[in-house]
Chain A
């Protein structure tokens, strides 16, 4: 089954970039250009030292892209597999892991930018970076839950993907991605209430050399557990009707 999932994911990526010279490295390119452009603009705007800001921005953008891509992709988990679902008996998890694997491969392509920026500015997060591993495991669980929840809801209600898209756009500005938490005075206390921030921070923080606080971790885990429970209950309820919905 894993071979099937890996092949499907790889073909998804290959198809999207078939015929282009750079292939999937277009993702790397566009992220690189984005990091360079935003880095230039915001380091001037926020009066930040490039040496400190660019590694932060590259990490933020790369992991934010991964997160928002998983969420938007989750919406089409089952609808894009309509042909498969309606013509053969196949575990629903295949479609979920296909989305997850595809986005993991894209993340790997984007990580090249982070490595480059870190090399240019000679930054090294230290051994604390290993704390990103439990963070990524939480992402894995959350991603699967998001696919179950959004994939099923979006199969039933076709206007949800648009709503999810708008929410993610707002989240990009309302979350410390291009800006840092310590740049706002009042709101910083309430940041652990922002699920996007805490879940991003448990991976980004350790890699940037600022391991997240216990509050951030607790909040991230609480949000994740809530997501998993809601997704599980909902999916168990609607699973039987999915084949009719897609």
Chain B
């Protein structure tokens, strides 16, 4: 039975609410009976901004005392991060998101990942999600490499045996050797990136949400990471990739959505959308292409 968390008032045990449906069985990795699907209907996300004084209790109290709280609510600085986003992705779809900085690419990925709640709209996600959004997601610099990998395994609700395999796999990839037992803050930046990347790519999700960082990096690292990335992407049934880089989008995506100020400006075949995007977009976008 699909569980709609909205039906439970104050369901505090639940995940962030999403107008979000996913079948219970979809959480088992690689479950054969589940047809992966992402279906977004009219998603809107607002992003409240709390700059400096926005967090001040004093201001909120004085505003309430002088009867301006209502007005303050109206005047709260809100970025309309996403507006009326609708699309459906089925197995085999590889979606690329393009758009300038602040167009809403990362916000859309976070919303699909179930982190941000949409204020309007409906999102249905069936399948095991793996999100590569934040490089250091949940990584604690004080913990050793081994502890960080184990913790990541627990986050992904892996079994003991799966976690042991993941520890070996990641430490091989990251070439940590005896550094495995030392706190991550002592690692060189190269080791840190390899560890982060190794952990992030150790999962095998059905739906892969990926921010552009994971395809950036220096050339030597990219060569090593490439095979790993490719197998991860190929194993995923649905890929959503956000990137500035034309060549990467052309290589991986079979469909491209161009986001502009939180709205879908164009949606279609990569070549066509990229052509019109690059035709109007800032020139620098082309220049970010990696070696």
Contact = CB atoms under 8 A, between A and B. Distances in A.
Interface of A: 1, 3-4, 7-8, 11, 15, 18, 83-93, 96, 148, 156-160, 163, 232-233, 235-236, 239-245
Contacts of A236: 9-12
A118 B15 CA distance: 45
A243 B113 CA distance: 12
Contacts of B151: 4, 7-8, 11
Contacts of A159: 55-58
Nearest to A147: B12
B138 A83 contact: yes
B155 A90 contact: yes
B50 interface: yes
A232 B13 CA distance: 11
A160 B57 contact: yes
For the complex of A and B, 4 pairs with smallest distance between CB atoms: A236-B10, A87-B137, A89-B114, A87-B134
B131 interface: yes
Among A83, A87, A233, A236, chain B packs the most CB atoms within 10 A around the CB of A87
Contact of B12 (A90, A157, A239, A244): A239
25 contacts: A1-B157, A7-B151, A11-B140, A11-B143, A87-B115, A87-B137, A88-B131, A89-B114, A89-B115, A89-B129, A90-B155, A91-B13, A92-B16, A156-B55, A157-B57, A159-B55, A159-B57, A159-B58, A236-B9, A236-B11, A240-B16, A240-B119, A243-B110, A245-B48, A245-B50
A239 B119 CA distance: 12
B55 A93 contact: no
B60 interface: yes
B113 A83 contact: no
Given A93-B13, A243-B115, A4 B133 contact: no
A213 to B, nearest CB: 33
A163 B61 CA distance: 14
Contact of A91 (B9, B10, B14, B58): B14
Interface of B: 9-17, 47-48, 50, 55-58, 60, 110, 113-117, 119, 129, 131, 133-134, 136-140, 142-143, 147, 150-151, 154-155, 157
Tell me whether chain A's interface is mostly helix, strand or loop, or mixed. helix
Contact of B56 (A1, A157, A241): A157
A90 B58 CA distance: 32
Contacts of B16: 89, 92, 239-240, 242-243
A84 B13 contact: no
Contacts of A1: 157
A88 B113 contact: yes
B141 to A, nearest CB: 10
A243 B117 contact: yes
Contacts of A86: 110, 115, 134
A11 B183 CA distance: 13
B16 to A, nearest CB: 6
B113 A89 contact: yes
Given A83-B138, A240-B119, 17 more contacts: A4-B151, A4-B157, A83-B136, A87-B131, A87-B134, A88-B137, A88-B138, A89-B15, A93-B12, A148-B12, A159-B55, A159-B56, A233-B10, A236-B12, A241-B117, A244-B116, A245-B48
A232 B10 contact: yes
B60 A87 contact: no
Given A1-B157, A4-B155, A243-B117, A92 B12 contact: yes
A4 to B, nearest CB: 4
A91 B15 contact: yes
Contact of A240 (B17, B143, B155): B17
B144 to A, nearest CB: 10
Nearest to A93: B13
